[in-house]
């Protein structure tokens, strides 16, 4: 094989991977916006992306795992079928094993969906906790994304399990964001406001209990 031929194959592979990533990002956004496109139903586009990833990149590629996760997002967010969703999430985890950072983004946004769209903190907490666990153990994870997951998980915990664990998460997130300022200023200000509100609520609880 010539050097030129090898370079062409490498370029083609990168293009296929980029196309699969773009397709997965588009499918995820459509599902979590509950916005089926003209091309077909949300289930149809999720299944198409899965099949495309499997056929073009193989069933051991991260893009295939993310496509499986997107199908899980569909069953969780659209069909409210958590058993089917969890089955697909398990398949996605099995593909990536310990290299599961590509799944963090989808779990993060599923948690955001349940926080902000379905207003169900119980269902938001589990995917956000999984996203955070993935991000904590992954080398090279973006600190700002880690902090954003902490903030979203704090929002869920403040509703479901009380404000003390939420405050701890916000304080950790703020420490990360302050180290990254001014890059993360808007996120930082938002987190500081959340922490101020929760700190006030905690003081009120303490006063009521005394």
pLDDT of residue 153: 95
Q: What is the pLDDT, as a whole number, of residue 184?
A: 60
- Structural domain span for residue 3: 1-97
In this prediction, residue 210 has a pLDDT band, given cuts at 50, 70 and 90, of low
Domain membership of residue 181 (yes or no) is no
Flag whether pLDDT at 21 surpasses 80: yes
Rounded distance between C-alpha atoms, residue 144 and residue 146, angstroms: 5
Q: Rounded to 5 degrees, what angle do the CA atoms 128, 130, 136 make?
A: 100
Q: How many helices (H) and strands (E) does the chain have?
A: 9, 0
Q: Is the per-residue pLDDT at 8 higher than 80?
A: no
What is the count of structural domains for the chain?
1
How sure is the predictor about 95, in pLDDT bands with cuts at 50, 70 and 90? very high
| Residue 124 covered by a domain | no
Residue 18, in any domain of the structure: yes
Residue 79 CA, chain-centre distance (Å), reads 19
Question: In the predicted model, is pLDDT for residue 87 greater than 90?
Answer: yes
**77 pLDDT above the threshold of 70:** yes
Residue 189 forms part of a structural domain: no
Residue 162 located in a structural domain: no
């Amino acid at each position: 094989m010539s050097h030129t031929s090898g370079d062409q194959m490498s370029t083609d592979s990168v293009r296929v991977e980029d196309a699969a990533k773009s397709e997965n990002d588009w499918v995820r956004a459509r599902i979590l916006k509950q916005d089926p496109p003209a091309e077909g139903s949300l289930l149809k586009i999720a299944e198409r992306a899965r099949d495309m990833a499997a056929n073009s990149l193989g069933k051991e590629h991260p893009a295939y795992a993310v496509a499986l996760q997107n199908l899980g997002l569909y069953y969780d967010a659209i069909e409210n079928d958590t058993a089917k969703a969890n089955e697909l999430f398990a398949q996605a985890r099995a593909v990536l094993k310990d290299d599961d950072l590509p799944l963090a983004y989808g779990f993060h946004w599923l948690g955001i969906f349940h926080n902000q769209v379905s207003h169900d903190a119980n269902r938001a907490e589990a995917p956000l906790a999984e996203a955070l666990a993935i991000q904590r153990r992954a080398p090279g994870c973006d600190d700002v994304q880690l902090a954003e997951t902490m903030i979203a998980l704090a929002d869920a915990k403040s509703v479901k399990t009380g404000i003390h664990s939420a405050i701890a998460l916000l304080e950790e997130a703020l420490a990360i964001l302050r180290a990254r300022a001014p890059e993360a200023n808007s996120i930082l200000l938002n987190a500081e406001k959340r922490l101020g509100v929760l700190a006030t609520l905690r003081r009120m609880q303490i006063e009521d209990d005394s």
